Structure 1
Amino acid sequence: MTATATPVRRTPRTRPGPPRLPRNARRLLLTAHVVTSVGWLGVAYALLVMALSAQASADPGTRVATYALMLSFDNAAMLPLGLAALVTGVILGVGSHWGVLRHWWVAVKLVLNIAVLVVPMLTRHPALVDAVDTARAGLLTEPAQQVLDGSIASVVVLTVATVLSVYKPWGKTGAPI
């Protein structure tokens, strides 16, 4: 008499933490993250070009118009794109194998993202308001240099974040999420 083997039911492995995103949701979020991140970097480059143009111009009207346009871009594009990149990045980290703090490159990108959101709003944005006022008065003063410095810093930091996304250096941090 032969015994028939009872099939062994295997339970799927579960990883600790939140569930991973389904493939299509992850792709959609990744697309949104890349689009908002690239847009954010593009606006940062545009602000840098405008800051250089304003500082190089001897015409007060050109400086006023350029700084006013920069202020509009700062309000309408830099902050919303940065927030969208932050939110989509965090959701992707939580819902994928990369994690939010599990890999060094992701953790560093998170810190850089927050820094590029907060620091320009505390430094470049007020300097832009001052630059518009001083340009209206026909003066070339310190706010113009602060605007340029903030624009350079934003471009450099966002470019570093992009490089980190491509090369993914440094390995794991040991954090569970």
Structure 2
Amino acid sequence: MPATATAPARPTRPARPQAPRLPRNARRFLLTAHVVTSVGWLGVAYALLVMALTAQAADDAGARAATYSLMLSLDTAAMLPLGLAALVTGVILGLGTHWGVLRHWWVAVKLVLNVAVLVVPMLTRHPALLDAVDTARAGLLTVPDGRVLDGSIASVIVLTTATVLSIYKPWGKTRAPF
């Protein structure tokens, strides 16, 4: 019997643990919910920026008070719920799809950005809005400290950056298994 040459066996890498995948309809539903809430969140951030600029330019304390009051309502009733919904749907999608939550750099960076834009404005802009409403209702035309405008600018920049990351998906994979 002739001897046959066999190729040396290649060492095998341990298999990466695979997360359970979402069924197709569930994935589509969650993706739709994620996109809708994320776009809504960005839209409210832009609206808050326009209102902050409008309030600062107003010559009437009543107009300022009304604008800051509306900003405060949107900050509470729209920014926070939309941000939480976008975050939750994004994490569920990450856990239930091949993208993972920390498996790709763009997803990990987007997660950090989204948590930051949820937490930081609630700790800075929201209290500043409370002060701005009180000041304007007292009839004072003083411009509040920069936290209202700065927080609005930062929210728009960070959420726009997260949107760009979602489209371009830069930087490749991390070493994280999930």
Q: What is the aligned partner in structure 2 of residue 19 from structure 1?
A: 20
The answer to whether the aligner puts 1:129 opposite 2:130 as a matched pair is yes
Structure 2 residue runs of 5 or longer lacking an equivalent are 1-14
Paired-residue identity, %: 84
Q: What is the CA-CA distance between 1:70 and the residue it aligns to?
A: 0.4
Q: What is the CA-CA distance between 1:141 and the residue it aligns to?
A: 4.0
Structure 1 residue runs of 5 or longer lacking an equivalent are 1-13
Q: What is the CA-CA distance between 1:139 and the residue it aligns to?
A: 2.6
Q: What is the aligned partner in structure 2 of residue 50 from structure 1?
A: 51
Distance 2:153 2:174 in 1: 30
Distance 2:144 2:124 in 1: 10
Task: List, as ranges, runs of 4+ consecutive aligned residues in structure 1 with deviation greater than 6 Å.
Answer: none
Q: What is the aligned partner in structure 2 of residue 3 from structure 1?
A: none
Contact 2:59 2:141 in 1 (8 A): no
Distance 2:19 2:135 in 1: 51
CA RMSD of aligned residues (A): 1.3
Report Cα offsets for 1:121-143 as digits up to 9, x if no partner.
Answer: 00000000000011112334463
TM-score norm. by structure 2 comes to: 0.89
TM-score norm. by structure 1 comes to: 0.89
Moved more, 140-149 or 59-68: 140-149
Q: What is the CA-CA distance between 1:21 and the residue it aligns to?
A: 0.4
Q: What is the aligned partner in structure 2 of residue 88 from structure 1?
A: 89
Q: Helix, strand or coil for the counterpart of 2:162? A: helix
Q: What is the aligned partner in structure 2 of residue 103 from structure 1?
A: 104
Q: What is the aligned partner in structure 1 of residue 166 from structure 2?
A: 165
Q: What is the CA-CA distance between 1:146 and the residue it aligns to?
A: 1.4
Contact 2:16 2:177 in 1 (8 A): no
Contact 2:102 2:176 in 1 (8 A): yes
